[in-house]
Chain A
């Protein structure tokens, strides 16, 4: 009996299809596995200290960060937290109006070449490495702030906030623009046919319809602010300090890890407390990004 026309034949295409499916599956889950791996590694390095030595009340409540004091080291991150929060907060105050304004202009008002060019420029801005931003903070913003405001130091919350705001704005612009783009054109048409002006269409129809996506964009910016290291390290002045004004130098959580980890003995208390900060940062940025993601996903589904 000839088997040439049987239905159970498998040719090369069948094997290639299976192999590609397997490869794609591995590719898909590897990102998840790596992230879990990183989290486990950070936890392993920091967990001993977290459980045995660390006084949580001191950790979150004390503004004294003197981990290398040989007699009585202190591990309070309150000042570092205040540093990160103040810089991120100021950055958002700057980035939100800029990014929303740009996104609204690109999505609702600009046309043709102007729009395409602006989009390319925004993407380019998003690609500037953070060390370059830090460099700008150090060499341009620093003397500028000293001169403009007549203050002794220019490496301050103000400096880092502006730098971080400019850094976060492009990515926030992109996401916000996507959110505005996702608003169906029939809403605009309906509003315009009812006699709304361009601005009324944007303000009364498009922005309310896109509010979840816009909130997602802002949250991603906040996540970016919390996690940013190099630019903040260079522009804040890196002084442990609870800031009283924008002209005070501060130090960020991330910058502390970056600056101190190289000088600590592996396994020492100092080494482990830095990893504890890492766990804390990881959790915060994870939560912020997750919230942003859920919010953005929410608009797509509804």
Chain B
């Protein structure tokens, strides 16, 4: 592993430097510099196409599924360069869990969904151990009481809110350090949104969480730091309360006030 020993505050989870990203010939990120602190919830806001999801998806390198993505610059997670040639994607993704916009439980049982990641990385585990993992993961997302009697039901029979909680729960057995969430509540109704937001709030401290959201109110009430992006560039990165009360940049103020986006 390529561990750099530059002088940096120790509590950074993600550190991006001069990150440029192209989809084919279209440049989606321009020289992005970001320091995202450990154990915090950081939200990424900005209008459609501003590059916030692209940035999120370059943290676990899931962008590369597309095949026509080109990147230069540096992204370090806990001081390790994740674009170094010797990085194994499987190891990276063990440390970086991701929640998608549409809840995407696998078409298997609730139990199997929780154990999917765990079984990939632990070939042998006893039944008792698995039971414990399933219970603990579901407890953490406040779903255990609701589904403990139907662990063998198909995960797709759950409500959208429960599916999204399940999608969060199945990341936990792999013991990630960073959770990426790509508009985790946009497919949910207000009640589901509230429940999932509360859950994300519960998880802070234990995980470093980066949430992309379209919903400014959500960013305001459910994150500690906030990043505003526009046209592939970072405009502002401040504590959330500060951004929504005294934004430093005119573009940020205009966006927050709803003049565009």
Contacts and interface: CB of A to CB of B under 8 A. Distances in A.
Partners in one complex: yes
Interface of A: 111, 184, 186-197, 200, 204-205, 208-209
9 contacts: A111-B67, A190-B105, A192-B62, A193-B62, A194-B97, A194-B116, A194-B174, A195-B121, A204-B116
B13 interface: no
B98 interface: yes
Nearest to B117: A194
B62 A195 contact: no
Given A111-B67, A195-B174, A197-B90, A190 B121 contact: no
Contacts of B107: 187, 208-209
Given A186-B100, A192-B65, A194-B97, 9 more contacts: A188-B65, A190-B100, A190-B167, A193-B60, A194-B170, A195-B117, A204-B120, A208-B107, A209-B106
Nearest to B64: A192
Contacts of B242: none
Contacts of B167: 190
B38 interface: no
A195 to B, nearest CB: 4
Contacts of A193: 60, 62, 93, 97-98, 100
A195 B100 contact: no
A190 B120 contact: no
Contacts of B174: 194-195
Q: Which 7 A-B pairs have the closest CB atoms?
A: A195-B93, A186-B104, A194-B117, A193-B98, A190-B104, A195-B90, A195-B94
Interface of B: 60, 62, 65, 67, 89-91, 93-94, 97-98, 100, 102, 104-108, 116-117, 120-121, 167, 170-171, 174
B120 to A, nearest CB: 6
B100 A196 contact: no
A189 B117 contact: no
A189 B67 contact: no
A190 B108 CA distance: 13
A267 to B, nearest CB: 56
Given A195-B90, A195-B121, A204-B116, A190 B97 contact: no
Contacts of A111: 67
Contact of B171 (A189, A194, A204): A194
